[in-house]
Amino acid sequence: MDAQTIIAKRIARELRSGMLVNLGIGIPTLVANYVPSDIQVFFQSENGLIGTGRPPEEGMAHPTLTDAGGRPVTALPGASTFDSALSFGLIRGGHVDLTVLGGLQVDQGGLLANWMIPDKMVPGMGGAMDLVTGAKRVVVAMQHTAKGKPKILKECSLPLTSVRPIDLVVTEMAVIAFPDGRATLTETAPGVSVADVVKATDAELIVPRRVPEMVL
């Protein structure tokens, strides 16, 4: 199982029936492929759609039906479309139960940096700042390291997305939560030891006496 699949399948276990869920660009979009069959959630795309489904089959994409990143999506029966003002009203009004976002860095207090790299062209800040601030629960989906360097750090070196800490970060190696503002190892991926996670993490991790293995 590749890293992205491990991350997406584990995050899908955080979903509960009736949730309004926003999926960010990249790994987060894969979460929709692993929703347990016994629950129903409503996926929101910040460009103005509730009720997104799986990506369309080849040749079946509709040019006006896309996610916030411009990729083709399908609409499930009962889906609703609206303008971006209403979409961001839902986000800023605290009506999104869970958002799953990609991450460039997360610090040991749970602060996220995911919207820009200095001196590199970016299209804009997008909705990440609104989502981290407005969603009831924030989960970050990212690989544990980049080019061998940790992405979970004592302190982020990139510009922060929000001063509100995230709730959970899921990587291909571990699940880390932030109770009381302290990075705490809660699960390890199959075949990954606690020592492996600690070695690949720059942040100071709280490690409980017993750390269970992820269920995928």
Q: Which residues of 137-166 are buried (b: 16+ CB within 10 A; e: fewer)?
A: ebbbbbbbbeeeebbbbeebebebbbebeb
In the residue annotation, 46 being an active-site residue is answered as yes
Q: Catalytic: which of 14, 46, 57, 213?
A: 46
Terminal alpha carbon distance of the chain: 10
Helix (H) or strand (E) holding 132, with range, is helix 128-134
Residue of 97, 90, 94 lying closest to 14 (CA atoms): 97
Please provide the DSSP assignment of 163-174 as one string.
SSPPSEEE-SSE
Residues identified as active-site: 46
